[in-house]
């Protein structure tokens, strides 16, 4: 029998929009696998023998987007290693620019089908507040400070927002208002998941 393709939902939205939080709610209820590209990059950076550790840190501290070959191989490895019976993945915070999309299409589109793109809409002000609060509470993230947040936002506006239009043309965009309580964001998301057949 033909091998089952992995099913993917991309979760996009500004820095601090609530992508990770929402994915945790979805995973808890549905059991789908949550892969945060940012978390995977931070984890790779911490490995003592990583070839890419320094490079990753440099990009993250500048709010810049890591070359797609690195990010995609982390995603790929983690998808292959997953023993999830669903083969359904929440890919959080990726793709972030056209280079990411091109790299994904070249290396992953054979194995994966993108079911949709969940777009967490949140104002820049609220995104920033959330990240600063998290930083003050001791997140330990080297990018949860005002200086790097300005850069993260610039990168988001210039590189990631245009992708929303790109995916919109393919009929893949599902918008969710993430300026509500986490519970309400999740409630709204459940309807979207049912629309895509999840
Ligand atoms: N919070 C969440 N939801 C809330 C709600 N509804 N109401 C009130 N508070 C809410 O949430 C952020 C904070 O807000 C938390 O304290 C949370 O409790 C609260 P979170 O769920 O973490 O939001 P998220 O959107 O995941 O924020 P995050 O900071 O993770 O987003 P970024 O997109 O900035 O970070 P990411 O980890 O994806 O990327 C970091 C960096 O890695 C990038 O800048 C880039 O340099 C690099 N990167 C790449 O180069 N390539 C990639 O593909 C991915 C990352
Ligand atoms: Mg996150």
The interface pTM score, or ipTM, of the predicted complex is 0.99
Taking only the tens place, the pLDDT of each residue in 14-42 is: 999 999 999 999 999 999 999 999 999 99
Which residues lie across from 119 on neighbouring strands?
Answer: 12, 175
Pocket test for ligand 1, best of 15, 138, 145, 148 (most atoms within 8 A of CB): 15
d(CA 99, CA 84): 29
Taking only the tens place, the pLDDT of each residue in 76-121 is: 999 999 988 889 999 999 999 999 999 999 999 999 999 999 999 9
Task: Report CA torsion sign: 14, 17, 22, 24.
Answer: positive
Kindly give, in sequence order, each residue whose CB lies less than 8 Å from that of residue 2, ignoring residues fewer than 6 positions away.
Answer: none
d(CA 156, CA 135): 19
CB within 5 A of ion ligand 2: which residues? 20
Which ligand is closest to the CA of 21, given by its number? 1
Identify the DSSP state of 86: S
- For residues 134 and 28, is the Cβ–Cβ distance under 8 A? no
> What is the whole-number distance in angstroms between the Cα of residue 84 and the centre of ligand 1?
24
- For residues 144 and 132, is the Cβ–Cβ distance under 8 A? yes
Q: Is the CB of 135 under 6 A from ligand 1?
A: no
């Amino acid at each position: 029998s033909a091998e089952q393709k992995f099913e993917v939902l991309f979760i996009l939205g500004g820095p601090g929009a609530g992508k990770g939080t929402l994915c945790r709610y979805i995973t808890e209820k549905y059991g789908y696998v949550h892969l945060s590209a940012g978390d995977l990059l931070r984890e790779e950076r911490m490995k003592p023998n990583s070839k890419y550790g320094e490079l990753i840190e440099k990009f993250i501290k500048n709010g810049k987007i890591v070359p797609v070959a690195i990010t995609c191989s982390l995603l790929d490895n983690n998808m292959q290693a997953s023993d999830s019976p669903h083969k359904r993945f929440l890919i959080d915070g990726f793709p972030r620019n056209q280079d990411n999309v091109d790299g994904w299409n070249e290396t992953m589109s054979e194995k994966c089908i993108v079911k949709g793109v969940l777009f967490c809409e949140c104002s820049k002000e609220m995104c920033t507040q959330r990240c600063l609060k998290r930083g003050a509470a001791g997140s330990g993230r080297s990018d949860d400070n005002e200086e790097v947040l300005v850069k993260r936002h610039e990168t988001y506006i210039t590189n990631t927002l245009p992708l929303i239009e790109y995916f919109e043309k393919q009929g893949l965009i599902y918008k969710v208002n993430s300026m509500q309580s986490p519970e309400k964001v999740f409630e709204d998301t459940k309807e979207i998941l049912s629309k895509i057949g999840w």
